[in-house]
């Protein structure tokens, strides 16, 4: 058996079913490398990385491997790469072992993205320790990189609004086709900027602060598209947007409800949708929503961090829009910082359909409101909210909520009910009730006939809102499958609590294999159309 000092490794990258590229040799303690990082082309499909010993081992050698994120990500809707951890091995007399990963193509102009391949737990031939190799995925969509600092004088720490310099850089990126604007780390006074569709804004470590007393319709970063075909993909990533709401004047009466941090809009007069991704973005202290999405948008939201937003971390208002949201973390000390998805107003051709997926999202102080029409599809998985209200209006939609936590309060005209659920299934989810109303105010003792899920087959109309759209033809069904129903910590021990109640008829409620907390009845006595299955 040869000693570890006599063993060296060369790493070769090639694409499956294609001729291998030329060997690259590196220099390390256990692995011999000379030319890091190893470069791979975005969209190459399955890439085989060949780990080669300089001399075939006399006995079998194996190592554990792990691909790790640096700037490349693996969990958004269109991951940069897909790989699994495992072990690779060199047989006796064979100097080569293979490790594979999948490289996707996301149609976004962006900077090259790094990841690591770590090898450790060597067994055989006296090898020990660990080594990390750097890999870089070369972007194949951008036309140019625009350095906002060197080319347009956007310097961190300046005392005045630098929106004009940033806009000049963004316009340059648009002129170049699919340009990427790079903003250096640091703090900037930025009132507003408009990103041309099909370009990118990258600000890893950059913070944009809205100047005080900005106009009421000021939007931090706006992207819009109007056309017969979908736009090329746009990207906003890395930057943190600070709305400085305490410096903007009165806002808690919704005086500044249009001053969103990010606004994404298509044009309902045209079929083409705005295609955009917002990734690794911080959203802070807004008088309005963190991300506002209008009609005709195809949006991917991933790894958003939100704090103290007066409205919602994500607000969708408009038909013909699809949203895929993953890994959102939001909280607030004042305001709810929740999620609101609504298919009104209509998008192109009068559609009110929306398609929304939310995964791995936590609202520490946020609410959830959904209005889904026109055969919309809403899917929530591993979603949690620890403060109400919760409202789901689904008269012509399919809604699936799985492995989540929903906080409800006292029903009102606008909040804390499930309205005309056409096809709604809530599975392996915990539902908790509170004795507070939508404003967080404790109810009067006479009103404390609590139901964790209040179902309405004929919701009342609110004169301050647009008329509700017509419901789908029946049958309408709401199913709670393997759900847990709990009383909140503020619920008095003497209060009567039902898991589900409904007034009137119009559909079927099935409570299947429920887990009922202490003092919770499965159904209210007058729960028409309700049944409990073992």
Return the CATH number at 255.
2.160.20.10
**pLDDT class of 11 with cuts at 50, 70, 90:** very low
**Backbone phi, then psi, for 90, in 5-degree steps?**
-105, 120
Higher pLDDT, 54 or 226: 226
Q: Does 328 share its domain with 208?
A: yes
How far apart CA 371 and CA 369 sit, in angstroms, is 7
Hey, what are 48's tokens? 């085989």
Closest CA to 283 of 318, 328, 317: 328
Domain boundary among 110, 138, 166: 138
pLDDT at position 130, please?
78
In a domain, 372, yes or no: no
Higher pLDDT, 125 or 381: 381
**pLDDT class of 243 with cuts at 50, 70, 90:** very high
Q: Does 262 share its domain with 357?
A: yes
The helices-and-strands tally (H runs, E runs) of the chain is 2, 47
Q: Quick check: 17 pLDDT over 70?
A: no
Q: Does 75 share its domain with 186?
A: no
In a domain, 468, yes or no: yes
Higher pLDDT, 159 or 195: 195
* Residue 75 preceded by cis peptide, ω within 30: no
In a domain, 246, yes or no: yes
* Number of folded domains that form the chain: 3
Q: Does 416 share its domain with 491?
A: yes
Domain boundary among 84, 117, 138: 138
Higher pLDDT, 390 or 127: 390
Q: Quick check: 493 pLDDT over 80?
A: yes
Closest CA to 393 of 407, 380, 376, 381: 376
Residue 340 CA from chain centroid, whole number: 14
**Backbone phi, then psi, for 305, in 5-degree steps?**
-120, 120
In a domain, 373, yes or no: no
What is the average pLDDT across 95-117?
92
Q: Give me the sign of the Cα torsion angle 337, 339, 345, 346.
A: positive
Instruction: Please state, rounded to an integer, the average pLDDT across all residues of the chain.
Output: 88
Residues spanned by the domain of 57: 4-138
Q: Quick check: 87 pLDDT over 60?
A: yes
pLDDT at position 90, please?
85
Q: Quick check: 470 pLDDT over 80?
A: no
Q: Quick check: 313 pLDDT over 80?
A: yes
Q: Does 164 share its domain with 279?
A: yes
What is the average pLDDT across 118-130?
80
How far apart CA 22 and CA 37 sit, in angstroms, is 14
What is the average pLDDT across 135-144?
94
In a domain, 67, yes or no: yes
Q: What is the DSSP letter of 202?
A: E
Q: Quick check: 22 pLDDT over 50?
A: no
**Are 303 and 324 spatial neighbours (Cβ–Cβ below 8 Å)?**
no
**Are 331 and 364 spatial neighbours (Cβ–Cβ below 8 Å)?**
yes
Which residues, including other chains, have CB under 8 Å from residue 245's CB and lie 6 or more apart? 251, 256, 285, 286, 287, 308, 310
With tokens 């899920």, the residue in question is 453
**pLDDT class of 464 with cuts at 50, 70, 90:** low
What global pTM score does this model have? 0.90
pLDDT per position as a tens digit, 298-307: 999 999 999 9
Q: Does 155 share its domain with 293?
A: yes
pLDDT at position 432, please?
95
pLDDT at position 412, please?
81
Q: Does 120 share its domain with 260?
A: no
Whichever domain contains 125, its CATH number is 2.60.40.2030
Q: Does 343 share its domain with 414?
A: no
With tokens 């967080």, the residue in question is 440
In a domain, 371, yes or no: no
**pLDDT class of 447 with cuts at 50, 70, 90:** low
Q: Does 462 share its domain with 423?
A: yes
In a domain, 355, yes or no: yes
pLDDT at position 122, please?
86
Q: Does 183 share its domain with 301?
A: yes
Q: Does 401 share its domain with 528?
A: yes
**pLDDT class of 151 with cuts at 50, 70, 90:** very high
pLDDT at position 489, please?
87
The four Cα atoms 160, 164, 170, 171 give a dihedral, to 10 degrees, of: -170
In a domain, 202, yes or no: yes
Sheet with 9-15: list strands edge to edge. Answer: 9-15, 45-53, 96-103, 81-82
Q: Which range has the worst mean pLDDT, 23-27, 384-388, 476-480?
A: 23-27
Q: What percent of the chain has pLDDT over 70?
A: 88
Q: Does 109 share its domain with 194?
A: no
Q: How many CB atoms lie within 10 A of CB 227?
A: 15
């Amino acid at each position: 058996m040869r000693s570890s000092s006599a063993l060296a490794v060369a790493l070769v990258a090639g694409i499956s079913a294609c001729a291998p590229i030329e060997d690259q040799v590196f220099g390390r303690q256990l692995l011999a490398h000379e030319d890091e990082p190893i470069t791979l082309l975005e969209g190459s499909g399955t890439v085989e990385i060949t780990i080669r010993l300089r001399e075939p081992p006399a006995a079998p050698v194996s190592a554990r491997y792990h691909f790790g994120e640096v700037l490349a990500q693996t969990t958004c809707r269109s991951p940069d790469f897909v790989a699994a951890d495992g072990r690779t091995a060199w047989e006796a007399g064979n100097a080569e072992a293979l490790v594979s990963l999948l490289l996707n193509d996301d149609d976004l102009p962006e900077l090259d993205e790094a990841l690591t391949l770590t090898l450790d737990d060597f067994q055989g031939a006296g090898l020990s320790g660990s080594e990390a190799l750097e890999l870089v995925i070369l972007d194949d969509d951008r036309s140019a990189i625009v350095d906002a600092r060197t080319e347009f004088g956007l310097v961190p720490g300046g005392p005045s609004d630098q929106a004009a310099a940033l806009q000049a850089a963004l316009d340059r990126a648009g002129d170049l086709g699919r340009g990427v604007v790079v903003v250096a780390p640091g703090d900037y006074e930025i009132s507003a900027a408009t990103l041309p569709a099909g370009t990118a804004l990258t600000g890893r470590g950059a913070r944009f602060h809205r100047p005080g007393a900005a106009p009421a319709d000021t939007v931090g970063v706006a992207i819009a598209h109007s056309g017969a075909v979908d736009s090329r993909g746009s990207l906003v990533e890395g930057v943190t947007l600070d709305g400085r709401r305490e410096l903007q004047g009165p806002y808690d009466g919704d005086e500044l409800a249009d001053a969103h941090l990010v606004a994404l809009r298509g044009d309902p007069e045209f079929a083409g949708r705005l295609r955009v991704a917002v990734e690794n973005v911080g959203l802070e202290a807004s008088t309005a929503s963190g991300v506002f999405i209008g009609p005709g948008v195809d949006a991917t939201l991933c790894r958003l961090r939100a704090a103290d937003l007066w409205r919602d971390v994500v607000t969708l208002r408009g038909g013909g829009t699809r949203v895929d949201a993953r890994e959102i973390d939001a909280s607030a000390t004042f305001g709810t910082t929740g999620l609101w998805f609504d298919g009104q107003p209509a998008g192109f051709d009068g559609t009110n359909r929306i398609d929304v997926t939310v995964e791995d999202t936590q609202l520490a102080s946020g609410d959830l409101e959904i209005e889904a029409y026109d055969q919309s599809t809403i899917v929530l998985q591993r979603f949690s909210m620890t403060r109400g209200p919760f409202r789901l209006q689904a008269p012509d939609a399919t809604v699936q909520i799985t492995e989540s936590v929903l906080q409800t309060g006292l029903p009102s005209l606008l909040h804390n009910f499930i309205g005309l659920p056409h096809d709604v299934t809530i599975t392996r989810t915990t539902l908790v009730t509170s004795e507070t109303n939508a404003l967080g105010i404790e109810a009067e003792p006479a009103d404390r006939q609590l139901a964790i899920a209040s179902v309405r087959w004929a919701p009342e109309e609110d004169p301050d809102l647009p008329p509700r759209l017509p419901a789908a033809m029946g049958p309408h069904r709401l199913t709670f499958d393997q759900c847990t129903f709990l009383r909140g910590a503020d619920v008095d021990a003497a209060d009567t609590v039902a898991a589900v109640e409904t007034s009137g008829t119009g559909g079927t409620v099935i409570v299947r294999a429920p887990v009922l907390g202490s003092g919770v009845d499965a159904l209210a006595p007058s729960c028409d159309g309700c049944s409990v299955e073992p």
